[in-house]
Structure 1
């Protein structure tokens, strides 16, 4: 199965969003970005930075959020390339 440019872009944004999310959680553990993590807790249901199950739920939400963002970016690129 060959992935075209748009599918690669969508997958890449999902993965990058997960990586950025994990960096933010690790900064929270060092008492940095505490208010931002509390805001993310409101948006990502089930996310809790204090236990591993909550972090896994947050990573899944981050991946889904990244996929949606990637679809929107790919759609905009496709519109401007036509």
Structure 2
């Protein structure tokens, strides 16, 4: 049964300021939101609902479906956001 990640970008934007998330985003030259969504989607068993109020963010967020996070990225994010 798939899980739903509701508000995967957090509330209020604090999540997107996390240093580890910013580091991985810089490495891939994408926004922290793209990394957060890609990390959420990595297993293929999670449905991600990332709300957005403008078309630029929607386009940006859609990049997450194509982004492949490597083992180092996943370890960094898993350590920053333990289950």
Name the TM-score, length of structure 2 as normaliser.
Answer: 0.32
Hey, which of these two has a bigger chunk of strand by percent? 2
Higher helix share: 1
- With normalisation by structure 1, the TM-score equals 0.32
